[in-house]
Amino acid sequence: MNDLSRRLVVSSISILIFVCLIFFAFQPLFKFVVAGAVAALSGIAVWEYGRLVKTKDAQIIMPALITLSVGETLAFFLQAMNPIFNSLPIVLFFVGFLLLFALHFGENKGAIIDLAVSSFGLLYIAVPMGMVLGVLYLPMADGRWWIAYLLVVTKITDVGGYFAGNLLGTRKLAPSISPKKTIEGAIFGLICALIASYLFHLGSDYAGSFHLGTFEWVFLGLLLGIAGQFGDLSESLLKRDANIKDSNTLPGLGGVLDSVDSILFNSIIIYIYLYFIKL
């Protein structure tokens, strides 16, 4: 119960901060604060990822990787701000990829593994975190509703799965990497995602440019409910291999990577849907 109380307190504070950030996200100067905050979270998550990698004897040039991650995240913000930066995220990723190679030119052994884990860190964390900003600052619509949809559906899946797993769960979902997760919790989490998605569908008639049709709320609700849990399990796989329980030791939170793991895959889904399918 103590762990649950800490989780609730920290989660409530985090939700309040995110609500304030989203509410003021379009203020002329505050939007740069929001972009900086997301970029900072990206850098911290990459640092935590580096802690996992070190246990496998891989060598990451951490200052360079954090700098590239922050830059890649901000590239999506600039892309959303001005069409002139449309190609910046992919260009910066390519330049960063070349830079990582250059920084390892003096390495005789282990270069393949070191380059692989560094590049994966950029792709796994920095790109999805940048896409969060891309969704928030949609150039053709008010992205605040979409970012709220992304966060609420993703997190309600986590919460529903957590409580149902503890109260009703008997069959293990993936015991080798996450012993506490159950099939019952996963199913209930998915149901919660669909309910939250349906509520956004009902409210979309009163939300201006935000519209979530009948097919969309079912399709996206299912997709986010499944992919969010997949993202949670994926980070658990990395931590299990590194033999680390939490990515950090923040009270009631664990780590930034622990908090955003389910958002990483879902932000990609929403970004692709909005930029290449819907709008």
Rg of the chain (C-alpha set): 19
Give every CB contact of residue 56 below 8 A, 6+ residues apart in sequence.
Answer: 117, 241, 242
CA-based nearest residue to 139, from 76, 82, 210, 87: 82
Overall average pLDDT of the 69-84 stretch: 96
Alpha carbon 20 to its chain centroid, in Å, reads 19
Q: How far apart are CA 11 and CA 270, in angstroms?
A: 23
Residue with tokens 């796989």: 237
pLDDT tens by residue, 144-180: 999 999 999 999 999 899 889 888 888 999 999 988 8
198 phi/psi in degrees, rounded to 5: -65, -40
- Could you tell me the end-to-end alpha-carbon distance of the chain, in angstroms, rounded to an integer? 45
Q: Is residue 179 helix, strand or coil?
A: strand
pLDDT in tens, 88-98: 999 999 999 99
Q: Concatenate the DSSP letters of all residues of 237-262 into one string.
A: HHHHHHT-S-SS-BTTTB-HHHHHHH
CA-nearest of 179, 143, 155, 113 to 14 is: 155
Q: Where are the domains of the chain?
A: 1-25+141-279, 26-136
Q: Residue 1: what pLDDT?
A: 46
How do 178-182 and 172-174 pair as beta strands? antiparallel
**pLDDT tens profile 239-276:** 999 988 776 666 555 688 988 999 999 999 999 999 99
Q: Count Cα neighbours of 169 within 13 Å in the Cβ-side half-sphere.
A: 22
* pLDDT value at 123 more than 90: yes
What average pLDDT does this structure show over 63-76?
Answer: 96
